[in-house]
């Protein structure tokens, strides 16, 4: 364990903790009330901080939004990367392992708090602040698709799948995995684990009907 004390910042500890607390509260309020409807007094209260502190840290309301988006995107990218690493490379029971992977993907990336925030901010501010999400737009979905496509191509090469265009297959896999959750997520319902498992099972079954091939370890 590196003791990792940021050397530059002078009074880091509680200072940084408050910074994160503010960003979290701001994310919540921005998502619930929209940018224009977000009240900085409310954000400060929810963060357990005086209003002035909010201004000290982030200056502008606009600037606060920028910080929020930046933070959320970073977290989401990390989560996606982490989850993608658990893709079944050498499957024994491909269907079961793909289902488990799909469930993890939903849990960690799509139905998670940050996933919800990013989705909501994209919809409410995406059109108005394209620059805010420009970086994510290329580094996020594109890289995710490419990474997933590479994994799928590997499985195809190993004889598990038959895929012509791995990129298309990757996007379709994600689309199928989300098919049943969209509606629930829009209304902020919390999706039960049961639902997630059913949804993932249906998705993977259809995906394998389309792209599955030989099953070296058939039961």
Instruction: Give me the residues that bind DNA (CB under 7 A), please.
Output: 10-15, 18, 38-41, 48-53, 55-57, 59-62
Q: Taking the complex as a whole, how short is the minimal distance between the CB of residue 155 and its own copies, in angstroms?
A: 16
Select from 18-26, 50-58, 59-67, 179-187 the region that touches its own copies (CB under 8 A).
179-187
Query: How far is residue 85's CA from residue 148's CA, in Å, rounded to a whole number?
Result: 10
Size of the site for its own copies (CB under 8 A): 40
Q: Taking the complex as a whole, how short is the minimal distance between the CB of residue 211 and its own copies, in angstroms?
A: 7
- Please, which of residues 98-137 interact with its own copies by CB under 8 A? 119-120, 122-124, 126-128, 130, 133, 137
Q: Taking the complex as a whole, how short is the minimal distance between the CB of residue 63 and DNA, in angstroms?
A: 8
Distance (Å) of CA 144 to CA 20, 112, 173, 207, 219: 26, 17, 12, 18, 32
Select from 5-13, 88-96, 150-158, 172-180 the region that touches its own copies (CB under 8 A).
172-180
- Which residue lies nearer to DNA by CB, 3 or 52? 52
In the chain, where does DSSP find H-type helix? 13-37, 40-47, 51-58, 61-84, 94-105, 113-125, 130-139, 141-157, 166-178, 182-186, 193-211
CB 29 within 8 A of CB 43: yes
């Amino acid at each position: 364990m590196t003791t990792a004390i940021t050397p530059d910042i002078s009074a880091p500890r509680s200072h940084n903790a408050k910074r994160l607390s503010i960003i979290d509260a701001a994310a919540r309020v921005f998502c619930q009330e929209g940018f224009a409807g977000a009240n900085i007094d409310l954000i400060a209260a929810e963060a357990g901080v005086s209003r002035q502190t909010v201004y000290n840290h982030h200056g502008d309301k606009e600037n606060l939004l920028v910080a929020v988006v930046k933070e959320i995107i970073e977290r989401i990218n990390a989560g996606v990367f982490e989850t993608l690493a658990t893709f079944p490379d050498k499957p024994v029971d491909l269907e079961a392992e793909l289902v488990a992977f799909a469930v993890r993907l939903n849990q960690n990336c799509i139905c998670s708090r940050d996933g919800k925030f990013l989705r909501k901010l994209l919809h409410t501010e995406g059109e108005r602040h394209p620059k805010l999400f420009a970086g994510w737009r290329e580094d996020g979905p594109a890289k995710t698709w490419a990474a997933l496509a590479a994994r799928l191509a590997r499985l195809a090469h190993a004889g598990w799948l038959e895929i012509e265009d791995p990129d298309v297959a990757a996007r379709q896999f994600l689309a199928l995995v989300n098919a049943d959750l969209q509606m629930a997520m829009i209304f902020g319902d919390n999706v039960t684990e049961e639902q997630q498992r059913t949804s993932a099972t249906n998705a993977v079954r259809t995906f394998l009907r389309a792209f599955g091939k030989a099953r070296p370890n058939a039961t």
